[in-house]
Chain A
Amino acid sequence: MSAPRTSSAPVLPPAPPRAAAPPVHPDPPGERRPAPRRRSLRSRLGPYLLLLPALVPVAVGLGYPLVRQFVLSFQEYGLAQQFGRPAEWVGLRNYTTLLSDPYVWGVIGRSVLFCLVNAALTMAVGIAVAVLMTRVGRGARITLQVGLLLAWGTPVLATMTVWQWLFDSQYGVVNWLLAEPLGLTGMRQHSWIIEPASFYLVATVIVVWMSVPFVVFTVYAGLLQVPEECMEAAQLDGANAWQRLRHLSLPMVKPVLLVVALLQVIWDLRVFTQIYVLQRAGAPTRETHLLGTYIYSLAKEFSMAGAMATIMLVITFVLTVFYIRRMLKEEV
């Protein structure tokens, strides 16, 4: 599931540092002539026409399922309905059933916490490694980049198989390392995923490990845009490395950080594959559900799953509205 992340490429080019280095506009003055009225109408419509090829697939691929999900969430729709029994309208019943169940609130709470912790950790580690990459020599940087690319490019299920084996309680290398060279013999048969807390610890390690490369590359690209002159000027004024990073580099790449953090929150809230695979590896399923796997577990009752997915949509919106408003403000 890492491949689709590349489709976020549009956010990759970081916003040019506005204050410090005004971008040069090489428009030749000859083209500044006021265009005839007729052309101006077309040029006003032009951008919208260019949007069409992107909007149509989004409307078909995303809009249709979204509408269908929304409609389903107000019906009783299961396997029998799929084989032709008429679907009954039940109003808000699916929602009230779900929201009056304390277990569902537990899942929501866990998911939000998991999402925030993972997004924060990913950002912290990602920014640290990006800064590191601006400081180290070429050889070290290339090694880092190759390593990150491999971590990012390997298919999720393949990496999950490896992680699963690393933490396997019978034959896993983690337990072996703890027991043999480190002498913690009690860890020989330790099960890492049988307790929810330790399950989420393992999941966090894996999710952060998988998400860090994206943050590193994006932030690193942003940091490269910070003009050398500003850094030099600050250095001459006596700012140390930490101050230069804190007060100069990071504010300059803030738009990039905001976008990346937003994506991380969204991705980590609807994390699915990693949790699903770890559950199948032997964790107690019910105690370790997050929103993604919980909705999947409801999937036989399509209407319930639709209602839960709609609830999750609202949560995603609540979590990100702050960022989006901030981002829009920055751009104005």
Chain B
Amino acid sequence: MTRVRTSGLAAASVGLLLALTACGGGNEAEAGGSEEIRLWLAGSDTPQELRDYLVETFEAEHEGMSLVIEEQDWSGLVPRLQTALSSESQTPDVVEIGNTQSPTFTHAGAFSDISDLVDELGGDDLLEGFVEAGTVDGDVYAVPYYSGARAVFYRKDLFQQAGVEVPTTLAEFGDAAVALQQANPGGAANFSGFWLPGQDWYNGIAWLYSNGGSLAEQDGDAWVGALSSPESQEGLQQVQELFANATSAPRDADSAEPWVPFNNGEAAMFSAPTWARWSIDLPECNQGVDPDDESEAAQAALAEQQACNEERTGIFPLPGPTAGEPATVFAGGSNIAIPAMSGNQEAARDLLRIIFSEEYQTMLAENGLIPGNSEYADALGDDVYAQAALAAALDAQLTPPAEKWADVEAARILEDFFQEVASGADLAEASARADQLITDTLA
């Protein structure tokens, strides 16, 4: 980095990073001009079959136009959009964005107003919290694409050996986790009743929300941190107990890949979006199939392996404070919007119409994603995974729809805070400090 040494600026390297990432996708389409529509999808959650459907349908309806789908990585999406969306030549025409990230861009004026289109796309059936995250002063700029709520996976055999039943209330859940941890039926060296790493606030806030607490509250025009409210404190108290007595997960880990310790026999439960079922790979079920092997025998062995894993694993939505009601968990998922800089507004709106058509929404549901239009959620099916996903999503809640919420996430304030909670910090003091940071960041 001698090039920048006289300035010695990390800012320069930031710029460099932005420039590099901005080149990741996008430039190749410029030649196509207005005949080409570009859709940015985030991550690999949208299956190939759905992408093909979009391209075919769009191109059949628009003679002479083509749809190009470019996949963007979730990590670093915000800085990439920062540069791409403000440039007429770089911007995609339709863009998927994380639900908690969308307020930052809607407030900045990065998206086109699509209020007049909302009724056509599903109106009141659209997922409510997501629409709120895409709304500024009553105008809608971003609509829900899909949602995926978290549910708890557990090892049936360990539950049985420890004499623990599937919990029906949040308090029972805590007791079950502690009991499992103490029983350690598998005899693993470093056993967790419930896998809860120190920085995993995505799962931790379920206790906050379920007790009626929140991360930040609107006070007039300003947002203030709300971790110190009595309701939040009660939830945090329960989380701290879990950290102390129900988990051996490292304090310096986050919510990434919770199935690793689960597969290793080091955890009896973990909480994750329901598609985590495909990542469960218990040693006693593993058939040692080469992942590149596409023969029929290998496929059969894999199917058998998956069936074996699913037989030994159970799933339930995190229970709420009263029996029969699920907890209020964090709603993961994404929104979709039309960048204001796009030169193809009409075609982009047509693409949104296709995405919110019955066919496409049903396809989303069939692939295990809760579709943006809840009317079509029935297509999720009725196996235990779909049921758990639906029950969890019923009452799921987003992060506060504050303009600068993405800054709070970027500054990793909640990661730091939950790590402190996990380290046994004084709750009132740590919460007051974190509240101050949240208030300052959102101001």
Cβ distance A173 to chain B, nearest Cβ, rounded Å:
15
Residue B10 at the chain A interface, CB threshold 8 Å: yes
Q: Are A270 and B252 in contact (CB under 8 A)?
A: no
Q: Are B3 and A191 in contact (CB under 8 A)?
A: no
* 0 or 1 for each of A175-206: is its CB under 8 Å from B? (1 = yes): 00000000000001101011000000000000
Within 8 A of A (CB), among B237-251: 248-251
Residue B355 at the chain A interface, CB threshold 8 Å: no
Residue B4 at the chain A interface, CB threshold 8 Å: yes
Which of B211-219, B288-296, B406-414 is found at the contact surface with chain A? B406-414
Q: Are A300 and B14 in contact (CB under 8 A)?
A: no
Within 8 A of B (CB), among A270-327: 270, 272, 279, 281-287, 291-293, 295-297, 299-300, 305-306, 308-309, 312-313, 316
- Specify which of B8, B82, B340 is in contact with A312 (CB 8 Å cutoff): B8
Cα distance, A84 to B88, chains bound together (Å): 12
Which of B23-31, B41-49, B55-63, B102-110 is found at the contact surface with chain A? B102-110
Residue B1 at the chain A interface, CB threshold 8 Å: yes
Chain B: CB-nearest residue to A171? B260
- Specify which of B2, B253, B411 is in contact with A286 (CB 8 Å cutoff): B411
Cβ distance B157 to chain A, nearest Cβ, rounded Å:
23
Q: Are A62 and B82 in contact (CB under 8 A)?
A: no
Q: Are B14 and A299 in contact (CB under 8 A)?
A: yes
Which residues of chain B are near A8, meaning CB under 8 Å? 2
Which of B127-135, B307-315, B386-394, B415-423 is found at the contact surface with chain A? B415-423
Which residues of chain A are near B1, meaning CB under 8 Å? 1, 4-5, 267, 270
Q: Are A282 and B9 in contact (CB under 8 A)?
A: no
Chain B: CB-nearest residue to A69? B11
Q: Are A193 and B252 in contact (CB under 8 A)?
A: yes
Which residues of chain B are near A313, meaning CB under 8 Å? 7-9
Chain B: CB-nearest residue to A319? B8
Within 8 A of B (CB), among A1-39: 1, 4-5, 7-8
Cβ distance B281 to chain A, nearest Cβ, rounded Å:
16
Q: Are A293 and B10 in contact (CB under 8 A)?
A: yes
Q: Are A296 and B4 in contact (CB under 8 A)?
A: no
Cα distance, A169 to B199, chains bound together (Å): 14
Cβ distance A248 to chain B, nearest Cβ, rounded Å:
30
Residue A82 at the chain B interface, CB threshold 8 Å: yes
Q: Are A295 and B10 in contact (CB under 8 A)?
A: yes
- Specify which of B109, B411, B423 is in contact with A83 (CB 8 Å cutoff): B109
Given contacts A62-B3, A297-B410, A300-B410, contact A282 B254 (CB under 8 A): yes
Cα distance, A1 to B10, chains bound together (Å): 12
Total of A-B residue pairs, C-beta within 8 Å: 146
Q: Are B8 and A266 in contact (CB under 8 A)?
A: yes
Which residues of chain B are near A284, meaning CB under 8 Å? 415-416, 419-420
- Specify which of A79, A193, A281 is in contact with B108 (CB 8 Å cutoff): A79
Residue A170 at the chain B interface, CB threshold 8 Å: yes
Q: Are A295 and B14 in contact (CB under 8 A)?
A: yes
Q: Are A283 and B252 in contact (CB under 8 A)?
A: yes
Which residues of chain B are near A286, meaning CB under 8 Å? 411-413, 416, 437
Cβ distance B104 to chain A, nearest Cβ, rounded Å:
7
Cα distance, A201 to B8, chains bound together (Å): 23
Which residues of chain B are near A295, meaning CB under 8 Å? 9-11, 14
Cβ distance B211 to chain A, nearest Cβ, rounded Å:
25
Chain A: CB-nearest residue to B79? A299
Q: Are B7 and A169 in contact (CB under 8 A)?
A: no
Cα distance, A61 to B2, chains bound together (Å): 12
Which residues of chain A are near B6, meaning CB under 8 Å? 62
Given contacts A4-B2, A194-B419, contact A83 B340 (CB under 8 A): yes
Residue B261 at the chain A interface, CB threshold 8 Å: yes
Q: Are A170 and B253 in contact (CB under 8 A)?
A: yes
- Specify which of A80, A291, A297, A308 is in contact with B109 (CB 8 Å cutoff): A80
Cα distance, A258 to B9, chains bound together (Å): 22
Chain B: CB-nearest residue to A292? B10
Which residues of chain B are near A189, meaning CB under 8 Å? 190, 248, 250
Cα distance, A252 to B312, chains bound together (Å): 72
Given contacts A5-B2, A62-B7, A170-B250, contact A272 B190 (CB under 8 A): no
Residue A66 at the chain B interface, CB threshold 8 Å: yes
Given contacts A1-B1, A194-B252, contact A285 B415 (CB under 8 A): yes
Cβ distance B19 to chain A, nearest Cβ, rounded Å:
11
Which residues of chain A are near B420, meaning CB under 8 Å? 284
Given A69-B9, A282-B198, A282-B251: 7 more A-B contacts, CB < 8 Å: A80-B109, A83-B86, A83-B340, A170-B261, A284-B420, A295-B10, A309-B9
The 5 closest A-B pairs by CB, nearest first: A282-B252, A292-B10, A316-B8, A309-B11, A285-B412
Q: What are 18 inter-chain pairs, A to B, with CB distance below 8 A? A: A62-B6, A62-B7, A79-B110, A83-B85, A83-B340, A170-B250, A170-B253, A194-B252, A266-B8, A282-B199, A282-B253, A282-B419, A285-B412, A285-B416, A295-B10, A309-B9, A312-B8, A312-B9
